[in-house]
Structure formats: C-alpha cells, structure tokens
Amino acid sequence: MSATGETRPGPSALPELPPEAGEDVGVPPQGREAGTDQDLVRLADIRRAEASLPPSIARHLVTEWRPGVWLKLESLQPSGSFKIRGATWKLMTAADSARSRGVVAYSSGNHGRALALAARSMGARATIVVPGNAPKSKLGGIAGDGVTLVRCQPGSELRRQLAEDLARSSGAVLVPPYGDLDVIAGQGTVGLELAEQIDGLDAVVVPVGGGGLASGVGAAVKAIRPAIKVIGVEPSLAADAAQSLREGHIAVWPVERVGRTIADGVRTQSLSALTFRHMMRYVDDMVAVGEAEILAAMGLLLNSCHLVVEPAGALPMAALLAGSLPDSARVALVVSGGNTSAGTLQRALGSGHAPRPARTGAEPR
C-alpha cells in the first residue's frame, strides 16, 4: 500500500525493462540474468564494499535524536554526503589501467564532489558534467587539481548523455550516480551499518532521487532483518519515484517539473531501470513532502542539533515532522547530505513554518 493508500505491484513483480536514463548499460554481471532479481545487489556485495572502503569514510555517524528516532549523519562524511561511499567503491573496483585514463561522472553536485575527492585520493583525473544551475556551494567543492568541470543545460538525461560521450571518446571510467551495481553496493553500506548498529529498528527512512541510496539500503536491511520497513521520501514537486512504484513502470518527469523543488539533490527526472528493480523489491512505502516542510526540517536540524543539512538531506525529517511515518516506530532517518548554501539556510531559518509534532515524548536532545 502506498502513502496515498493506493496498491502498487508487489515485490515479486519485476518486469523486463529497456535501459532508462541514469543506468550504466552494459553486459550483466556473470551469472546474473538481466531484468530479474538475479541482477540485484546482494548482501555479499555490500559486505565486501564495507570491508574494503577506507577508514576516512565514517561508519559510526549515528546519534539518537530523541527516544526511538536515530539520525544517520551522512552529511558529516568527508564529501558532505553519502555519495562518497558509492563513488569510492566504484573506483576501487575499476582496473588500474582503466583509472589511468581518467574517470567521468555526471552529477547535480554531491556525486561529482564525492567522485572528485575519491579520484584525487587515487591519483586519477576526473571530469564531472554538471548542470549550469548547480548550487555554487556544491560546484566549489568539486573544483580542484585534476578535476575538469563540464557544464550543460539542466536535466539528468542531458548530463548522462554528455558524460557517456566523454567516457566513450576518452576511454575513461564512467561512474554513474545511481544506476550501477558497484555504486549501489557502496551506498548499501549505510543500511548494513544501521541494521547492525541499532537494535530493534522498525524502519529506515531515506531520501529518493535516482534511487541508488534506497536501493542499496533496502538490499542490506532486508537481507539482515526482513521485518525492517524501508521508506523513501521525495518532494511533492519531484515525486517521479512514487509514481513509478505505484504504476509499476518508470515514470519520467520533465526537467522543468522537477526543477521546481528546493531539494536540488533529488531533481532527477526518473529512476534507472536498475534502481527501479531494486526499489520494487525492497521499498515498502513512499512519502511525499512539501517545500515548507522541507525548509522547516532544515531549520529544526540546525536549531536543535546544530546540523547544516541540505534540502534533500532533510526529507526524512520532514516526513517525520509531518506525521507521515508510522507512530511509535523505532526509526532511523538518513540525513544524506549537508552541502547547501547560506542563502538556502537563511530561507530555512526564516520560513516561519512550525512543523506539526508527529510524536509525543521527550524533547530532542
């Protein structure tokens, strides 16, 4: 049952799909049949990533915000978001000879920043395709020695096409932001840590853009504790993933439509075919929140926790404050990123929207 009360196809419904925007399309992994649950990321893949990622990627950024509510603070990772996990693991799995020809990514900001940091740590040259309207705060974090920024018009599909052309012509490693098994396995380490670090967890709540984080987290927690609910959150102005899961096929929203939300980190036009299959299998529910709720959640996190959180990273908290999550559940909210501008923070602090309390109990601590 969806957040709107509509029934969507169950986890067993995994239709055959053509390649979609955002997916790194190629030969399926050996021994796995494309288009079925056999090509989904497995717990063993996620554990291998967890054991291999460098210690600079923090594993224990979990705090109990108030009784029964934990925050997974990916906003405090070296790149300012969870994206460092998938980007690093993808480069670690690439052959040295391939990395020597450089790496290419397309990103609205956080994935590019993470890849730039990972590439520099491995001595690889990075080219990042970014939209011209990307926040300066994120572009500033990408720029550096060995990083080339290529600007294009807004739209995740345009970025993907340009990045694929650049990788093809140069022989560089293409690192997609979400539609890739290694990237999803890297992001899945977030779910692995939550399932193993918090006893009695009822639900994990994650922001959804292209679906890489929800896919990896879902694959991890469902393998370890199948009873844990995986709940995705989108802005109402960019709710293509909820429509996709509700209708049982990938919905593609125009760039002009998703561009209306303040949550720039989730302005993707669609899921990829790969993340769609994962989310159909592992995501239990989708929740949509409004712009005022997102700003209120950002303001609360800054005021009560002294946390700088970007709009996309505040989506789970917005869902909690709006009363859209199960009552009395022990939930972990993934605060996915903190790369935002002073202007956006000022909007959050001055929004004047008091969120409706979703729960009773102790004050935030």
Mean pLDDT (whole number) for 305-332? 95
Over 80: is that where the pLDDT of 22 sits?
A: no
Q: Running DSSP on this structure, what letter comes out for residue 23? A: B
- Domain at 72, CATH number: 3.40.50.1100
Encode 320-357: b = buried (16+ Cβ within 10 Å), e = exposed.
bbbebbeeebbbbbbbbbbbbeeebbebbeebebebee
Annotation marks residue 72 as catalytic = no
Over 50: is that where the pLDDT of 31 sits?
A: no
One domain, residues 226 and 96: no
Instruction: Give residue for tokens 């299998």.
Output: 281
One domain, residues 291 and 206: yes
Residues 87 and 326: their CA atoms lie apart, in Å, by 33
What pLDDT does 262 receive? 96
Domain assignment present for residue 130? The answer is yes
Over 60: is that where the pLDDT of 63 sits?
A: yes
Annotation marks residue 97 as catalytic = no
Mean pLDDT (whole number) for 252-274? 95
* Domain residue limits at 164: 83-175
Mean pLDDT (whole number) for 103-132? 90
One domain, residues 322 and 215: yes
Mean pLDDT (whole number) for 318-324? 96
Over 90: is that where the pLDDT of 19 sits?
A: no
Over 80: is that where the pLDDT of 25 sits?
A: no
- Read off the pTM: 0.85
Residues 144 and 361: their CA atoms lie apart, in Å, by 47
One domain, residues 218 and 330: yes
Residues 200 and 246: their CA atoms lie apart, in Å, by 29
Mean pLDDT (whole number) for 157-173? 90
How many separate domains does the chain show? 2
- Find how far residue 246's CA is from the centre of its chain: 20
What pLDDT does 68 receive? 96
One domain, residues 317 and 202: yes
What pLDDT does 36 receive? 54
Residues 212 and 273: their CA atoms lie apart, in Å, by 11
Q: At what angle do helices 181-197 and 43-52 cross, to 10 degrees?
A: 80
One domain, residues 295 and 322: yes
Range list of β-strands (E), 223-304: 229-235, 285-289
What average pLDDT does the chain have?
Answer: 86
Considering the candidates 83, 90, 222, 229, report the single residue annotated as catalytic.
83
pLDDT by residue (tens digit) across 168-186?
Answer: 999 999 999 999 999 999 9
Instruction: Give residue for tokens 């293409």.
Output: 174
| pLDDT class of 193 with cuts at 50, 70, 90 | very high
One domain, residues 130 and 231: no
Q: How far is CA 150 from CA 104, 112, 122, 165, in A?
A: 10, 11, 21, 12
